[in-house]
Amino acid sequence: MKIGDIDLGEGAILAPMAGFTEPGFRAVCARIGAGLTVTEMVSAKGLIHNGEKTLELLHTSQYEKISAVQIFGSDPEVMAQAVQSPYLEKFDIIDINMGCPVNKVVKNGEGSALMKNLPLASKIISAVKAAAQDRPVTVKFRLGWDRDTKNYIDFGKMCQDSGADALTLHARTRADFYSGRAKIEAWEKLKNAVSIPVIANGDIKDKQSYRQAFDWADGVMIGRGALGYPQIFADVLDKSVDLTLMEAVLMHINELLKYFEPERAAINFRKHAHHYLKGVPNSREIKNKINQTDDINQVIELLKSAL
Ligand SMILES: Cc1cc2nc3c(=O)[nH]c(=O)nc-3n(C[C@H](O)[C@H](O)[C@H](O)COP(=O)(O)O)c2cc1C
């Protein structure tokens, strides 16, 4: 699969997930097979003000083969200015978030609220495309605001006409948030309506759902299926994994420690630890202990005792 001139190989993509897709996790997923990794959503306003918390989200690891930064905002000029930030120079692809459902984002007309304002969404995409110069621009969005206002076909065409190089469709509405089955038949409908690549997203959990998605789309993006199980990228690509789960955890933590102080890393890692321990019998006590410590070595020992 190609986005602009960038060849993504087999097209297995790690989804942006706020609070989870920090450089440690992205490194592990890339090492195991993800051809493209995406930062979590980064505020365009935060970027132009060089906000410390915003800049922290922009670390990338040496393992990431092709990396995208995802930005969000509702002001075309601010979005364009953000793209020109020197901190974004290292990213191969600029992705625009037009799918985030959370209230504090949509109340500012950002994220999935832009699916209700096509003229503004179009201005944002054109402005970002002009600012990105030769770098490809992608847009991630949903089926629409709610069941009665599904407009992903018109929205996708608008994105294409405004200069987008590829589209990612999370096959749920804003009203669905993350619940209910993803309406996967939408990927094919969108693909038939546009000539740029379509990336399928929503409920890809295993090799079967991954392979099936390629019947309808050009690339496939995996989110929650990778949490606690980065090996999913080897599974779906039919590759053997040369890392045990514990080795993947250690790599994840070691990468994280390159960017964060050990205490911060221990705290940030807690939610990942819960995912890595998913399905491990009697892990409640270990999870509780991990929640209470900011000593990363203790976190490692606790995980070693369980995995
Ligand atoms: C905890 C969490 C955080 C997320 N953060 C983002 C984000 O920053 N940007 C974005 O476009 N989507 C975000 N998403 C949505 C995912 O990228 C993806 O579209 C969604 O989870 C559906 O894919 P899945 O079924 O493979 O998880 C987030 C999802 C989760 C669960």
pLDDT tens digits, one per residue of 41-51: 999 999 999 99
Closest residue by CA, ligand 1 atom 26:
223
How much is the pLDDT for 235? 96
Q: Which H, E and C letters describe 138-178, residue by residue?
A: EEEEECECCHHHECHHHHHHHHHHHCCCEEEEECCCCCCCC
Matching residue, tokens 């590759």: 239
Residue 120 beta carbon below 6 angstroms from any ligand 1 atom:
no
CA–centroid distance, 15 to ligand 1, in Å, is 6
pLDDT tens digits, one per residue of 126-166: 999 999 999 999 999 999 999 999 999 999 999 999 999 99
CA–centroid distance, 3 to ligand 1, in Å, is 20
How much is the pLDDT for 11? 81
Residue 222 beta carbon below 6 angstroms from any ligand 1 atom:
yes
CA–centroid distance, 22 to ligand 1, in Å, is 13
Residue 169 beta carbon below 6 angstroms from any ligand 1 atom:
no
Closest residue by CA, ligand 1 atom 21:
223
CA–centroid distance, 76 to ligand 1, in Å, is 23
- Average pLDDT by stretches of 10, the chain with 307 residues: 94 96 97 97 96 93 97 98 97 98 98 98 98 97 98 98 98 98 97 98 97 96 98 96 95 97 97 97 95 98 96
Residue 204 beta carbon below 6 angstroms from any ligand 1 atom:
yes
Domain annotation for the chain: domains and CATH numbers: 2-237 (3.20.20.70), 260-306 (no CATH)
Catalytic residues: 100
Tell me how far CA of residue 201 lies from CA of 4, 181, 205, 212, in angstroms. Answer: 20, 12, 10, 12
How much is the pLDDT for 150? 98
Q: What is the mean pLDDT of the chain?
A: 97
Atom of ligand 1 nearest to the CA of 222: 26
Closest residue by CA, ligand 1 atom 23:
202
CA–centroid distance, 240 to ligand 1, in Å, is 26
Helix, strand, coil shares of the chain as percentages rounded to 5?
45, 15, 35
pLDDT tens digits, one per residue of 157-201: 999 999 999 999 999 999 999 999 999 999 999 999 999 999 999
Closest residue by CA, ligand 1 atom 10:
16
How much is the pLDDT for 301? 97
Q: What sign for the dihedral angle of Cα 99, 3, 212, 16?
A: negative
279: Cβ contacts below 8 Å, ≥ 6 apart? none
